[in-house]
Structure 1
Amino acid sequence: MHLYRKMSRLPGKVILILLIFLAGISILTAQNGLTINGLNQASYVYRAVPDSLHNYFYDSFAFNLVYRDFSFGMKFIAELPKYSIEQSELLAELNPDRLNLGWKELYASYNRNNYQVYAGTMEETFGSGLIFRSYQDLEMDEDYRVNGFRFVYDNKLRVKALYSAYNNPINRGKLDLACGADLQYPVLQPLTLGVSVLSLQSFIGSSYKEDNIFGGRASFQEDWMDASLELAQRFKEYSNDDGTAIYGNLSTYFGPLQIGGAYKYYEDFDYFNHLQDIPLANYHNETLVDSQSSGLDEEGLQGWMSFAFLKYWTFNLDYAEAWNHNRKVKMNDFFVSLDWNKDLTTASISYSQIEKIDEIYSHWQKESYPGFNLQLIGKKNPLTLSGEFKIVEKQVYDVVTSHYEPKFQLDTSFNKLSCSLALQSWWKDLSHLTQSRYMPSVQLKYPLFPETDILLFVGKEAGGKVCRNGICRYVAPFSGLKFEINTRF
């Protein structure tokens, strides 16, 4: 009954909106300049795991209407329920709180000359994203978009101003606030200056907590050099632990040689609602510690180079280190590759290493993996073969463990059919190859119609740690079937 009542309340105001929308279309279609496009994405997941919910379904139908300077859009979303890659969010049985459907993500905008007025669900970034970034990551199933009002003026002087709300990540049903402005102006031909102001109101505990952030940035771009520097200060109205952020990078070019570096310093600059994209200053976008987001307490340096030689060859090298204020927590990130590119053939070999040390909790870990990639771009049957052999070593106090995670993948196509074959494994040691876990998978993609693609995945995925935007998550392993159909109009 709970589900029925929730679904029965769905139409109400939505029917009125749709009737007005349809009436508007009937008038506008008789005139010039009307454009309607959209996308429907449907997916079905069968998870073949004992003691788990097996069936998941998700569908989104989105359309956009553009008429002269005005645009409008809506999206219908059905989660019955939606499959989550987050290990902690997987269901053992059907839960009514995870069944949702309705018209969401509405927006309307008006563009004229150099300015825009926008209201609704939005993605936005101030500068590099260090101070503010509202975004959606479909691959990682993360949604940090805000809903509200935005004004943009885009000319030599660029101005953004927004006042918005977003869902509190802990207190369900409560909204937090984010409002701010960003200005950018090219002072000289190669030099651009910018300033950002942001205020956050987050419901924490039993009351709203206010954060005010002020920042400035400068970027310098010439044919032979790119450089940028961003500074920010965070003032907590509820605490004396104010925050500071500094990030700068520089790259320069000397013929076939490119070299660059970056510096970061963050102290108490991690937001409660993660409405930011903190530059991590390392090749693999790794956090200082897996168990906490970036921005709390860290400093680091990065250096990289790329050298092209003998017409077809390129050598790449990247190294970074980071540490906390007392250097009891440290990490290093290393990457090197040799690439060969000629006509329609590319090949590369690489080596990656990520090492983290936490003396406070007597924890050490190292991930290292050589890899290769071979791509043959033929006219009929392009072929890509890639692989890596990951070695994971850990020590917690006096306990030392290690294992291997090899992975191989073959991508090809036959006319319109794209095919991907993958094999992953988990070896305790090399003497237990026949007793180890193997995870094969097949993925097929085919354009059923000019505007419709279908995708079928059957097999297993290992899951594991994935770091993105300053946050590390543990993706759940998967075994089963995924079917997707996407239609554009």
Structure 2
Amino acid sequence: MKKGIILGCVLGAAASLYAQDATDKGTLRGSLETNNIYYVKDSKLDASSAANPDDHFGSNSYLKLDYTKGRFSAGVQLEGYLPALQGYDYATYGNGKRTLLGTKYVSWEDGDFGFRVGDIFDQYGSGLIFRSYEDRTLGFNNSVEGLSGHYEYKNYVSLKAMYGRPRLYLDYAGSSVRGANMNLSVSDILGLKQVNFNLEGSYVNRYEDLKDNPDFVDRLTTSNLDMYAIGGSLGWQGLDARVEYVDKGKDLPLPASSEMVKGKAILAELGYTYKSFSALATYRRLEHMNTRLTLTGEGSGNVLNYLPALTRQYTYMLANLNPYQTNAEGESGGQADVYYSFRPASNRSNYWNFHANASMYYSDKDITKKSRLMWRDINADVEHRWNNQWKSAALVSVQEWSPSHGINDVTYVSNIFVLDNTYKFNRKMALRLELQYLYSTDYEKDWMAALLEFSIAPRWSFSVSDMYNNGSTKIHYYNGSVSYTKKSTRVQLGYGRNRAGYVCSGGVCRYSPAYTGVNLIVTSSF
């Protein structure tokens, strides 16, 4: 019923505005994305963990339309899962086979204020207590269906608030969420020109009445979860600092939690930039910060806040073989990044880029009995452009990770080496070659990988890759693809064998089973 009312508001407002001035039809923009896989049987993969749907097919498709006319805008997103691709938690609810109106909204912006009715995407602070967003790589959308508004007074203060029910995969959760955020620019109020100083505060409430539910009657002492965040940022002459503290009320952070517990978090960042040099250090501590949209839901998309892994995010195959996943129930640690770029004045194109990174996280001793190492990564890379045609990069990463996430003392060590070369034959044709090796005496032991990519701008791209475990399994994970781009449309066709493991986007991960198959991806915008 609520969805019908909101959709009616969307269509009614659009029709009313159009009738007011038919000569100004506004602007309509759209995009289409479809990701399709035909799964084939592969005797080399473990049948107990490999994807093998009955109809051998999966498809995730999205059609997004946005209309703008002056200060008014409206939009819808149609989604189809026919059925959902393997490894996406859409299939957790029903059979994952469904088409739906996934997103709808109307909004109005008028100078210093605005409002939005429909599905809301927003973030308070760093997201420690609230972030609603869509990530198609991860396969979830936790937008809040309801009403939001914001107001700004000069550059001094900005306020925003929202209320609604959160989306959980193919439907909506049985909870309601409300919240407010205020940002105060102290430097503008005081007229400070050389310093940028801001204060920010947020409040979020989740309400879910489950006291009469037999699964929760002995554990649930309140239907309300209240969370507060306060923080500030300071910028001065290349120096940037930010801190945020969160207090979380009683909650059942995990389905198996025996009682409600309070949570808290702290995030601190310090960065400095001077000419070609920059450095950034981040520290974060989490205690019982796994905040679910609904206590009755499952899956990685059942999350109200945003807690990405604050580690280096790799694109290289072997460096991303066993990524770190945030332990929201209890972790402390951080990372540091240092960058330096050297460009000779006589030849600015002949540059050197240097980068070093280190991250380390430990478990909470109250949960794992003693504080144990969960993750350590010390890495460095250098990139050099030799001339207008040839560019090289080299990476070394030493990773140590806990397969039990700190429950016991066992850790595995991986030593990863990468060489990346790109050669441009002319303005259109380029060849890229990656060579990678992982040395380890633990787990699956050694790996090697290679990727070769040839592109003909702006239309064609061809790539082949292989990731081979020459340690314990002796399995090749090969892939080949070709893509064609014309204007704003891109079509990619590929085939290959994919290893079971975690697929990550923005520091958040989902588990994907192993599979072999044909993959067709089409994206277009208009």
Query: TM (normalized to structure 2)?
Result: 0.77
In 1, the alpha carbon distance for the partners of 2:313 and 2:335 equals 12
Choose which of 297, 303, 307 in structure 2 pairs with 1:278: 307
In structure 1, what is the equivalent of residue 84 of structure 2? 82
Cα offsets for 1:360-408 (capped at 9, x unmatched)? 43432223311122234541113332242234554xxxxxx43333222
In 2, the alpha carbon distance for the partners of 1:437 and 1:100 equals 35
**237 and 247 in structure 1: CA distance in 2 versus 1, 3 angstrom threshold:** closer
Matches within 5 A, 1:47-446: 47-49=39-41, 51-53=52-54, 54-86=56-88, 97-154=95-152, 155-156=154-155, 157-167=157-167, 174-188=173-187, 189-202=195-208, 205-206=215-216, 209-236=223-250, 241-273=261-293, 274-278=303-307, 280-284=309-313, 293-309=326-342, 311=344, 312-326=351-365, 327-330=370-373, 331-341=375-385, 343=388, 345-357=390-402, 360-377=407-424, 378-391=426-439, 393-394=441-442, 401-429=443-471, 436-446=474-484
**128 and 96 in structure 1: CA distance in 2 versus 1, 3 angstrom threshold:** closer
**22 and 190 in structure 1: CA distance in 2 versus 1, 3 angstrom threshold:** closer
**299 and 47 in structure 1: CA distance in 2 versus 1, 3 angstrom threshold:** same
**468 and 201 in structure 1: CA distance in 2 versus 1, 3 angstrom threshold:** farther
In 2, the alpha carbon distance for the partners of 1:283 and 1:468 equals 12
**322 and 23 in structure 1: CA distance in 2 versus 1, 3 angstrom threshold:** closer
**253 and 111 in structure 1: CA distance in 2 versus 1, 3 angstrom threshold:** closer
In 2, the alpha carbon distance for the partners of 1:118 and 1:344 equals 49
Q: Is the 8 A contact 2:489 2:524 kept in 1?
A: yes
In 1, the alpha carbon distance for the partners of 2:12 and 2:158 equals 35
Q: Counting strand residues as a fraction of each chain, which structure ranks higher?
A: 1
Deviates most, 277-286 or 243-252 = 277-286
In 2, the alpha carbon distance for the partners of 1:335 and 1:71 equals 46
Q: Is the 8 A contact 1:328 1:360 kept in 2?
A: no
Alignment-mate amino acid for residue 270 of structure 2: L
In 1, the alpha carbon distance for the partners of 2:8 and 2:272 equals 58
How far the C-alpha of 1:337 sits from its partner, in A, is 0.8
How far the C-alpha of 1:151 sits from its partner, in A, is 0.5
Q: Is the 8 A contact 1:247 1:279 kept in 2?
A: no
How far the C-alpha of 1:321 sits from its partner, in A, is 2.0
In 1, the alpha carbon distance for the partners of 2:24 and 2:343 equals 56
Cα offsets for 1:17-65 (capped at 9, x unmatched)? 9996996697478312511121233343211126533122343322111
Deviates most, 267-276 or 203-212 = 203-212
Q: Which runs of 5+ in 1 are unaligned?
A: 1-11, 395-400
Helix, strand or coil at the partner of 2:175: strand
**275 and 138 in structure 1: CA distance in 2 versus 1, 3 angstrom threshold:** same
How far the C-alpha of 1:472 sits from its partner, in A, is 4.2
Alignment-mate amino acid for residue 473 of structure 1: R
Cα offsets for 1:311-359 (capped at 9, x unmatched)? 3222211112221233442131211111213556432101122212466
Q: Is the 8 A contact 1:168 1:176 kept in 2?
A: no
In 2, the alpha carbon distance for the partners of 1:184 and 1:464 equals 40
In 1, the alpha carbon distance for the partners of 2:446 and 2:269 equals 35
Are 2:468 and 1:464 equivalent residues in the alignment?
no
How far the C-alpha of 1:126 sits from its partner, in A, is 0.7
Helix, strand or coil at the partner of 1:98: coil
Helix, strand or coil at the partner of 1:271: coil
Q: Is the 8 A contact 1:389 1:406 kept in 2?
A: yes
Cα offsets for 1:88-121 (capped at 9, x unmatched)? 8889xxx973221233311111111121100112
How far the C-alpha of 1:469 sits from its partner, in A, is 5.8
Deviates most, 362-371 or 155-164 = 362-371
Deviates most, 21-30 or 349-358 = 21-30
Cα offsets for 1:256-303 (capped at 9, x unmatched)? 43333222221122212422222544324999x989753311111433
Q: Is the 8 A contact 1:168 1:202 kept in 2?
A: no
In 1, the alpha carbon distance for the partners of 2:502 and 2:281 equals 26
In structure 1, what is the equivalent of residue 27 of structure 2? 35
How far the C-alpha of 1:161 sits from its partner, in A, is 0.6
How far the C-alpha of 1:140 sits from its partner, in A, is 2.1
In 1, the alpha carbon distance for the partners of 2:499 and 2:513 equals 8
Deviates most, 270-279 or 144-153 = 270-279
Q: Is the 8 A contact 2:450 2:467 kept in 1?
A: no
Helix, strand or coil at the partner of 2:95: helix
Helix, strand or coil at the partner of 2:106: strand
Q: Is the 8 A contact 2:283 2:335 kept in 1?
A: yes
In 2, the alpha carbon distance for the partners of 1:75 and 1:177 equals 22
Alignment-mate amino acid for residue 353 of structure 2: T
Query: RMSD across aligned C-alpha pairs, in angstroms?
Result: 3.6
In 2, the alpha carbon distance for the partners of 1:360 and 1:225 equals 38
How far the C-alpha of 1:124 sits from its partner, in A, is 0.8
In 1, the alpha carbon distance for the partners of 2:39 and 2:94 equals 19
Alignment-mate amino acid for residue 490 of structure 2: D
**32 and 55 in structure 1: CA distance in 2 versus 1, 3 angstrom threshold:** same
Q: Is the 8 A contact 2:390 2:423 kept in 1?
A: yes
In 2, the alpha carbon distance for the partners of 1:360 and 1:18 equals 50
The percentage of counterpart residues that share the same residue type is 17
How far the C-alpha of 1:16 sits from its partner, in A, is 8.4
Q: Is the 8 A contact 1:226 1:250 kept in 2?
A: yes
Cα offsets for 1:205-243 (capped at 9, x unmatched)? 447742211111111123321111111111117866321
**42 and 28 in structure 1: CA distance in 2 versus 1, 3 angstrom threshold:** farther
In 1, the alpha carbon distance for the partners of 2:462 and 2:237 equals 40
In 2, the alpha carbon distance for the partners of 1:142 and 1:402 equals 31
